[in-house]
């Protein structure tokens, strides 16, 4: 399989859109994009998105060794690299602190895929990872294990991770999961019962997700 690749320009544009969409604040969150030649573009540590430039981005290899860039890569680089190493069909990973998704992460509760498009774009329920320390290799391994057949996972007590073939599509997944979490939270606040999708619908649409993921 030929892995999908992107550009530093796309990583930067997506980082700025992530801030614009309210999925992060300040310097929180991070983005990676797979480049040609087994390289990965990462957002830097502790640089505000609104002032971030191409010169601030850091290029590393898949083992995390810096190839170019004068800044330190995000402290969550293992989270990105573990996933990109494990799944060559993926081209980007995004970590956000989306408010409603993070509420589920604090509760260690999966976000149910009760809306059809969530199954199509994410593959099913959004699972919650076991708690692992921020920035640790253990967290990277835990996240990668949850993204084997999903386009999103929750970081316990922390936030949301999404993945896709490109930064733009990974950001779409983040916005979709956040919107779904907000809808479910609102329905529960109304006292409503959350009804699951029919099992056949889940199976069929999960198959669509699998096909899209394997054919980026």
The catalytic residue positions are 76
Beta bridge partner(s), residue 195? none
| Rounded Cα gap, residues 205 and 201, in angstroms | 6
CB 11 within 8 A of CB 167: yes
Q: At 178, which helix (H) or strand (E)? A: helix 167-189
| Rounded Cα gap, residues 204 and 210, in angstroms | 10
| Rounded Cα gap, residues 33 and 8, in angstroms | 7
DSSP secondary structure letter of residue 27: T
Nearest partner of 110 among 132, 129, 133, 82, judged by Cα: 129
Nearest partner of 32 among 162, 142, 135, 146, judged by Cα: 162
| Rounded Cα gap, residues 188 and 194, in angstroms | 7
Task: Locate 71 and state its tokens.
Answer: 């800044």
CB 31 within 8 A of CB 92: yes
For the chain, report the end-to-end CA distance as a whole number of angstroms. 10
């Amino acid at each position: 399989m030929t892995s999908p690749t992107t550009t530093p320009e796309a990583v930067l544009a997506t980082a700025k859109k992530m801030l614009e969409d309210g999925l992060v604040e300040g310097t929180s969150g991070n983005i990676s994009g797979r480049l040609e030649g087994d390289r990965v573009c990462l957002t830097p540590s502790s640089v505000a998105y609104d002032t971030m430039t191409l010169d601030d981005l850091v290029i590393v290899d898949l083992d995390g060794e810096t190839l170019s860039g004068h800044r330190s890569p995000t402290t969550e680089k293992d989270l990105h690299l573990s996933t990109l190493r494990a799944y060559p069909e993926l081209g980007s990973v995004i970590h956000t602190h989306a408010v409603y998704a993070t509420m589920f992460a604090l509760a260690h509760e999966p976000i149910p895929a009760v809306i059809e498009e969530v199954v199509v774009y994410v593959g099913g329920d959004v699972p919650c990872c076991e708690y692992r320390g921020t920035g640790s290799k253990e967290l990277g391994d835990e996240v990668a294990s949850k993204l084997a057949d999903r386009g999103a996972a929750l970081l316990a007590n922390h936030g949301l991770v999404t993945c896709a073939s490109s930064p733009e599509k990974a950001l779409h997944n983040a916005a979709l999961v956040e919107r779904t979490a907000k809808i479910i939270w609102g329905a529960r606040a109304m006292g409503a019962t959350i009804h699951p999708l029919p099992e056949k619908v889940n199976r069929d649409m999960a198959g669509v997700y699998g096909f899209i993921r394997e054919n980026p």
